[in-house]
Structure 1
Amino acid sequence: MNTKKKPLFIAFSSQKGGVGKSTFTALVASTLHYRLGYNVVVFDTDFPQHSLTKMKVRDLAMVMENEHLKKLAYNQFMAINKKAYEIVQHKADSVLERAIEYINTSAIPIDVVFFDLPGTVNTPGILKALAGMHHIFTPITADRLVMESTLIFTQLLQDVIMKKVETSIKTINLFWNEVDGRERTPLYDVYNQLIAQLGLSLMQSQVKNSTRFRKESENDSKTIFRSTLIPPDERLMKACQLDLFITEFLKIIQL
């Protein structure tokens, strides 16, 4: 692992709420930090929800209340000898400067900085923050409102920010989320064709629909899926094909 490279700035971003951007930020950050050995930091600029900050508070409480998860977290710490990644709250309009300051003063080399950004371009500083990303990943679902909002947003990024503004963006990647494996709807074919016609990039991997994305660990749980402290269980990842998504994600960002 080459830690001499400049850290990558990555955002799961969308103009439509409820499509999973905060969830994917936590899932991918935890996989990279705890399982794959990279050093990660997350900046939570999604005011006023601050979903990831609140998630970490719940995760800490859950681990302390669940003896199995407490042992799992302890064994993880002993095995990898590293602390939980930090989640830093900050405003979107100056988050790039704060991230650079964090990297320069960090006692450990940072490999990836994830940004959980607000879900509207009307937020002050959001376009500047997006222009500072190296890679943007946008979850989509086969829903007309989601697709219309997403395609307009993605074209804005490609046609305005990448062409008319000084930018760090290398890739913008759409990916299917909440795909029902039992149902083959013509909507996917229609939207795939439209995405191709617009010249947008669509990932090959599709993340299957799962209640796990909306459900955090319970008091008596012995497995973890969505957590800021422990990586998602590998069997659960495979069940919804998140493992395939992670493989393609790493190939795209070339970490």
Structure 2
Amino acid sequence: MTSSNSQFQTETTDGALGSPAVIAFATQKGGMGKTTLSVLVASWLHYKRRIKVAILDVDGAQLSVYNQRIRESQQIQDDSHASAKLEEQNIEPYPILSGNPADVPELLADMPEGIQVVFIDMPGNIDVAGYETALKTVDYLIVPMETSEYSVTTGINYLNAIQEINLLPVERCRIVWNKYKPSRDGELADLLEERFKTIGLECLKSRIPQRDSYQDSANRSTLFPMPVNYLRNSGLKDLFPEIEMLLNLTAKPISDEE
């Protein structure tokens, strides 16, 4: 397994996050789950942990999150059971705003009062107009990777490009292993993490397993959190609190069912 030579230059930061905190799951390789992870984490934090979130969908080629909310809202009008369930949640759906990457500073300035965390669904191409403008607003960038040589090389090249143009210091970047199979990937992931440390790059402790069911509408909803009974075996149970700790969030106490 090889990867490109890193150009990372460690920069000092004061550790302070903006208000609201801004986070992006992003990479240039398609199929890494950046949008799915954004929705899963945002919905859990908002609906179960009562942390007020918003999503900015600036992936103009697809606007998949923004369009998903439109579809879900239309579908729920025709489903009395789902409508009642939404009302029982007793919390307004989090806002999903759309635009282009260059619009992000303006969208953040117009964010509804009380929002604690904003997730940005970024384009899959760093060369899109306004990409730099959007990424400069981010407090933490999380890059989903698989352990394959192509995925690692693409991810590291993406992070190098960000460092080379001084968009985000390495201390604000993390890698998360996605589509992970312990029997196949465990030893290699451990080895890669040690190599990443030599360039000042950290991995999240959470490793997200391969699960096609993350795409199921009941699990990846912008109106409801992932069902607790599914979460227990999803591999995501550790990711949600790790994001809370990373962003220094204050949430409602965790109940026994969670």
TM-score tier after normalising by the smaller chain length = 0.7 to 0.9
Residues 34 and 168 (structure 1 numbering): CA distance in 2 closer, same or farther, change over 3 Å? farther
Partner residue of 1:87 out of 96, 100, 103: 96
C-alpha contact 1:39 1:110 (8 A) present in aligned 2 = yes
RMSD: 2.1
CA distance in structure 2 between the aligned counterparts of 1:168 and 1:67, rounded to whole angstroms:
48
Pair 1:50-2:50 in alignment? no
Helix, strand or coil: the match of 1:243?
A: coil
| Distance apart, 1:228 and its partner CA | 0.3
Residues 252 and 185 (structure 1 numbering): CA distance in 2 closer, same or farther, change over 3 Å? closer
Helix, strand or coil: the match of 1:55?
A: helix
CA distance in structure 1 between the aligned counterparts of 2:88 and 2:183, rounded to whole angstroms:
38
In the alignment, structure 1 segments of 5+ residues that lack a partner are 217-223
Helix, strand or coil: the match of 1:161?
A: coil
Residues 73 and 181 (structure 1 numbering): CA distance in 2 closer, same or farther, change over 3 Å? farther
| Distance apart, 1:201 and its partner CA | 0.9
Residues 35-184 of structure 1 aligned to structure 2 (within 5 Å) = 35-77=48-90, 82-100=91-109, 102-103=110-111, 106=112, 108-162=113-167, 171-184=172-185
Equivalences, count: 232
Q: Which residue of 1 aligns with 2:195?
A: 194
Residues 161 and 235 (structure 1 numbering): CA distance in 2 closer, same or farther, change over 3 Å? farther
In the alignment, structure 2 segments of 5+ residues that lack a partner are 1-17, 250-258
Q: Which residue of 2 aligns with 1:227?
A: 221
CA distance in structure 1 between the aligned counterparts of 2:49 and 2:126, rounded to whole angstroms:
33
Moved more, 63-72 or 43-52: 63-72
Helix, strand or coil: the match of 1:41?
A: strand
Q: Given the two structures, how large is their TM-score scaled by the length of structure 1?
A: 0.83
Q: Given the two structures, how large is their TM-score scaled by the length of structure 2?
A: 0.82
CA distance in structure 2 between the aligned counterparts of 1:93 and 1:124, rounded to whole angstroms:
7
CA distance in structure 2 between the aligned counterparts of 1:188 and 1:228, rounded to whole angstroms:
31
Question: For each residue in 1:70-93, what CA deviation from the matched residue of structure 2 results, as whole angstroms up to 9, or x when unmatched?
Answer: 33212113xxxx311111111101
| Distance apart, 1:169 and its partner CA | 8.1
CA distance in structure 2 between the aligned counterparts of 1:195 and 1:48, rounded to whole angstroms:
32
Percent of pairs identical after alignment?
25
CA distance in structure 1 between the aligned counterparts of 2:198 and 2:232, rounded to whole angstroms:
31
Residues 61 and 149 (structure 1 numbering): CA distance in 2 closer, same or farther, change over 3 Å? same
Task: Extract structure 1 runs of 4+ deviating beyond 4 A.
Answer: 167-170
Larger helix fraction of residues: 1
Partner residue of 1:252 out of 236, 246, 254: 246
C-alpha contact 2:163 2:170 (8 A) present in aligned 1 = no
Helix, strand or coil: the match of 1:177?
A: strand
| Distance apart, 1:40 and its partner CA | 1.4
| Distance apart, 1:181 and its partner CA | 4.1
Letter aligned with residue 131 of structure 1: K
Question: For each residue in 1:212-254, what CA deviation from the matched residue of structure 2 results, as whole angstroms up to 9, or x when unmatched?
Answer: 22232xxxxxxx3100000111222221221101111111111
C-alpha contact 1:132 1:168 (8 A) present in aligned 2 = no
Question: For each residue in 1:198-220, what CA deviation from the matched residue of structure 2 results, as whole angstroms up to 9, or x when unmatched?
Answer: 3211111111111122232xxxx
CA distance in structure 2 between the aligned counterparts of 1:67 and 1:124, rounded to whole angstroms:
43
CA distance in structure 2 between the aligned counterparts of 1:53 and 1:195, rounded to whole angstroms:
34
Helix, strand or coil: the match of 2:19?
A: coil
